[in-house]
Structure 1
Amino acid sequence: MKSEIKGLILTSVIYGIGDILLKAFNFFLLPIYTRLLNPSDYGILAVTGFLSFIMSIFMSLSLHSFLTPLYFSTGNHQERRENIGSLFLLSILVGGVIALSIDQVARPFFSLVIRDVPFDPYIRLTIWTSYLSTWSRIPLLLLRVRERSFAYVLITLSSSLLQTVLSIWFVVYLKRGIEGLLIANLIATSVTSVICLISVSSNMILSLKVKIWKHALIFSLPLIPHELSGWILELSDRAILQWYVSLDQVGIYSLAYSYGSLITLIGYAMNMAWVPFLHKTDSIEGERASERFSYMATYFTVTLCFFGLFLGLAAKPVISLITTALFHDAGGIAPLIVAALLLSNIYYFPVNFIFLRRKTTKVAFATVVSSFTNIILNLWLIPVHGVIAAAWTTFISYGVMTLLTWYFSLKVYPIFYQYRRLMVVFLISAFLWVIGVVYPWNSFWFEIMGKLVLLAAFPALLIIFGFFTEKEKSYLRLALRSYPIFQR
């Protein structure tokens, strides 16, 4: 198991570095954007963001999700290439028809539902960027399935770098504002799709296989309500907020959410390494590997909780440092967003067992219930409490989703999780988070020092409360002794 964990860590680190650099390109542009754009511009960006998300769901029909089981269930290389090409062909044909229909027919609908955001140019640019992004989904997923993490990271980083350069050109030099950002995104997405197709061209052959299309639709269609519900969980708060608060407040909340999303850098990187490993291991060993998976669940959780605690404690000072005073209120909202998205990243571990057994209707049920919880709570609480209510409902809804997913995963793939160790991690994380967020720090530097102490207390409390096993302690001592500073 040590070698397997090392392999997962290495792959996760590669994906993690790539994701960190991806986020960094945009995150470190915040000081520029917050001086050239106003909160209302950020409100428009938030609205086009959730439009892009929901349109991408319908344009892709989640067909790319079928690639992983299709890849591991096909033994013949030639047949596999044809099957992947058939799936890709179905994806781009379906997406093209839907994108064209939205562009030509749905304009009056957008005018009625989306206030203060003109169809031309903002929504039209969003439509075609969303469609072009579907071209790269299967090629990028194919790179992940084939465990070509360096190629995946190189392509995605190049795309983000191109988008960053184009965004600076359009916003800083051409003064095109939000329209410039959307044009930059369209160009970068187009170039990325071409690069992705070239990189995997030898691994797929375009073909029309009705049988593959049928199996792909059976697997993927239940994921449409799942992804729609995921959109509701992730973005409907901003859609509802625009009806009850000003665009300035929507923009501040959006900034807090962007910061909170940094936790997904860790969770998503680990998940990208975990998915192909899980499918490959199960195809060889079946449920005999369940004991190793229980250990991996514990390590998955403790890693996420540590980084979630770090981001939650750092939220207020970081946001106050990199933004103007207009955006400082986001620092009070961001820690709760971090906690909510921590739960959504823990969800990655159990949900993959449900995908492994192709029980996609159970995934859809969990997210649909959670999304209805989110909508009801948002409509009830936002009119009274504003943006802080949206943060709390996000936390509660992701908690419901994670618990339901864990329950269903046990039904389809029984694992004896290490519940005592997991409870120790959760309680310590919550205790330190509450102290760091609630305590009234009197000065900036006192807050920095105090929160560093709280962060350092995390591993110390794990040791005190018996989280580590004797084997893990022995392994850690051996690992530390390999460094000169610990050899005395």
Structure 2
Amino acid sequence: MNKLLDKYKKIPAPVKAGLWFFICTVLQKGIVFLTVPIFTRLLTTEQYGLLTVYQSWMAIISVFTTLNLSAGVFNNGMIKYPGQKNQFLSSLLGLSTTVTAVFFIVYLMFRQPINTLIELPTVLVLAMFLELFMSPALALWSAKQRFSYKYRAMTAITVTISLANVGVGLLAVSLAEEKGVARVLSAAIVNICAGLVLYVFNMIKGKTFFHKKYWKFALAFNLPLIPHYLSVTILNNSDRVMINKFCGTGSAAIYGVAYSIGLMLNIVMTAINSSYTPWFYQSMAQKEYQKISKLVTALVALLGGVSLLLVTFAPEIIRIMAPASYYEAVWLVPPITLSMFICLLYNVFAGLEFYFEKNIFIMIASCLGALLNIALNSFVIPLWGYIATGYTTLLCFIVWAFAHYIFSTSICKKELGLKKSIFNIKAICFIVLGVFTATAFIMLFYNLAIVRYLIVAVLCFVFIIKRKALIHLIKQMKNVQNKGKGGE
């Protein structure tokens, strides 16, 4: 134990911080995921669907009210104004508050039509706006902790908020008659209280609500990216909103449970991206394109294998996650999981666009995917029901990733002088096609568990045979993490 502690103490601060930020994300998502079986049994599908719809609208509206100021512009500001970090943070918080106040006034003026549009009662929309006022305080503070590699306070606060959310939620649902509204309000109250504390803390530290230079810089940087942020949010949330519109909150709840299972893949992707992105930037600077290509192909194969495991055990996971009334979600898990798998390709291809600061390419590809998603859902949900949305979402993610591939290939030709992409697209397509084919085959045997278990046994046998290659990949990823985090 002492040797392990000594090794831990010798880890560079950026690597140590990266490790704890990943653990923090896993704990946060893990707590939410583990409590899904509890709330799906305490709430009816309609009551659980209310929470799903509320969270979806919250995500969409927050793009406009918060301007995603805790994203790219914040890190740029930390570098641009190194001696004024607290003032910059509190100024961005002031900007977010001002924009949210404008939208809140608009809501008060057109309350009834807006409530009808989003299908939420006034009390929940008011709670949403209180969250929108306070949530940027936590987001900006967390971004500053990441930038400064200060992981202790952030980990403690994030886990505390997650546990409080569950504890207060269980208490509220147990005591209230309107259990769906109680679940939404309990989560909102926890987030509002945490945000309020950090709001006051940030303002006391920064002592700056308005600063012309900071506001001008933030708006000039982030406003052009709003279509991209909105498009990504729509791709991730519009399904549940439109299902609620056409099929009701019960169907939205079933979709939400399936989506939460697909998001398990995000834990693996978070680990990959936290290591891959900084390493990719360094490798691009050193023109190590062959090394990038080999690692990307290996990562696609690894994530494809994890995707197949999720798809294979989908019936068992659904039975654990929710009662029988949610079982239809099993047919949504495969397309949603594959959509998350395709997200890796988006991250890979878009990495080149971010590296060369081709924001216009990012915006075009994201808008294309979002608009196609809305159009297809408007057509297929009335015809074939909410199950079809899983497949329209998958199609839109494929189009989204393909558009980014086209743009990244163009960048390789113009910026790097290469005749083709730096990625091995033939190998990637072969892996993707194999994962899609295997998924379709597995779905045929969802009612025959023994066949699916045999498939898992075969996969395990393959992993044993290829264990040396797998161990080599893990070691390579460990080296990538050390180099990437050390060079940030």
* Corresponding residue for residue 46 of structure 1: 52
Structure 2 residue corresponding to 1:68, chosen from 75, 83, 88? 75
Distance 1:212 1:425, change over 3 A: same
* Alignment-derived partner of residue 317 in structure 2: 318
Aligned to 2:390: 391
Show the 5 A alignment for 1:232-381. Answer: 232-275=234-277, 281=282, 286=285, 288=287, 290-381=289-380
SS in structure 2 of the partner of residue 328 of structure 1: helix
Structure 2 residue aligned with 1:482 = none
Q: Which amino acid aligns with 1:332?
A: W
Q: Residue 181 of structure 2 corresponds to which residue in structure 1?
A: 179
Residue 22 (structure 1) aligned with residue 28 (structure 2): yes
2 CA distance for matches of 1:135 and 1:303? 37
After TM superposition, give the deviation of residue 431 of structure 1 in Å: 3.8
Aligned positions of 1:467-478 closer than 5 A: 472=472
Q: Could you tell me how far 1:321 is from its partner in structure 2?
A: 3.0
Q: Which amino acid aligns with 2:242?
A: I
Match of 1:143 in 2: 145
Letter paired with 2:115: S
Deviations 1:225-265 (A, max 9, x none): 12222232122222222343243222212221222222222
Cα offset, 1:192, TM superposition: 3.2
Deviates more, 1:286-295 or 1:235-244: 286-295
Give a deviation string over 1:400-425, Cα, whole Å, max 9, x none.
Answer: 11122233344456561233543453
After TM superposition, give the deviation of residue 81 of structure 1 in Å: 4.8
Deviation at 1:20, TM superposition (A): 3.2
**CA 1:11 to 1:338, structure 2 compared with 1: closer, same or farther past 3 Å?**
farther
Q: Distance in 2 between matches of 1:405 and 1:176?
A: 45
Residue 456 of structure 1 corresponds to 460
Say whether 1:101 aligns with 2:101: no
| Stretches of structure 2 lacking an aligned partner (at least 5 in a row) | 1-11, 480-488
Aligned equivalents of 2:108, 2:451: Cα separation in 1: 54
Unaligned runs of 5+ in 1: 1-5, 480-488
Q: State the secondary structure of the residue aligned to 1:399.
A: helix
TM-score, normalised to structure 1, is 0.81
CA contact 2:362–2:404 (8 Å) conserved in 1: yes
Instruction: Provide the secondary structure at the position in 1 that maps to 2:70.
Output: helix
Report if the CA contact (8 A) 1:84-1:205 is conserved: no
Distance 1:108 1:458 in 2: 59
The amino acid across from 2:105 in the alignment is S
Distance 1:38 1:87 in 2: 40
Q: Distance in 2 between matches of 1:377 and 1:146?
A: 43
Map 1:69-84 onto structure 2 (within 5 A).
69-72=76-79, 74=80, 77-84=82-89
AA aligned opposite 1:97: V
SS at match of 1:387: coil
Distance 1:196 1:32 in 2: 30
Note the C-alpha offset of 1:52: 0.5
In structure 2, what is the equivalent of residue 166 of structure 1? 168
- CA RMSD between the two structures: 3.5
Amino acid at match of 2:76: P
Contact 1:425–1:462 (CA under 8 A) maintained in structure 2 = no
Answer yes or no: is the 8 Å Cα contact 1:62–1:221 preserved in 2: no
Shift of 1:167: 0.6
- 1:161: Cα distance to partner? 1.0
Query: More deviation in 446-455 or 398-407?
Result: 446-455
Which residue number in structure 2 is paired with residue 434 of structure 1?
Answer: 440
1:80-131, Cα deviation, whole Å (9 max, x unpaired): 5544444343233323433x3244223122233234x322x22221222233
SS at 1:429 equivalent: helix
Contact 1:25–1:160 (8 Å) recurs in 2: yes
Contact 1:85 1:206 survives alignment (8 Å): yes
In the alignment, the residues of structure 2 paired with residue 358 and residue 223 of structure 1 have an alpha-carbon distance, to the nearest angstrom, of 12
Residue identity matched to 1:333: L
Q: 1:168 deviation in Å?
A: 0.9
- Are the equivalent residues in 2 in contact too, given 1:144–1:272 (CA < 8 A)? no
Q: Check the 8 A contact 1:257/1:334 in 2, yes or no.
A: yes
Deviation of residue 396 (structure 1)? Answer: 0.4
Shift in alpha-carbon separation, 1:179–1:113, aligned structure 2, 3 A: same
- With 156-165 and 102-111 compared, the bigger mean Cα shift is at 102-111
The number of equivalent residue pairs is: 458
Q: How far apart, CA to CA, are the structure 2 residues paired with 1:33 and 1:179? A: 13
Give the C-alpha shift of residue 386 in structure 1: 0.9
1:114 aligns with 2:118: yes
Distance 1:150 1:288, change over 3 A: farther
Q: TM-score, normalised by structure 2?
A: 0.81
1:181-260 to structure 2, matched below 5 A, reads 181-193=183-195, 206=208, 208-260=210-262
User: Aligned partners of 1:327, 1:196: CA distance in 2, in Å?
Assistant: 38
1:314-345 deviation per Cα after TM superposition (whole angstroms, max 9, x unaligned): 21111123321111111122121111122124
Q: Retained in 1: the 8 A contact 2:31–2:163? A: yes
Q: Structure 1 residues 39 and 31 mapped into 2: Cα distance closer, same or farther (>3 Å)? A: same
Per the TM alignment, residue 305 of structure 1 is displaced from its structure 2 partner at its CA by 2.2
Question: CA deviation digits over 1:245-288, x for unaligned, max 9?
Answer: 24322221222122222222222343345556666x48xx8353
1:92 to 77, 89, 97: 97
Q: Counterparts of 2:149 and 2:277 in 1: how far apart (Å)?
A: 10
- Following superposition, the deviation at residue 359 of structure 1 comes to 3.0
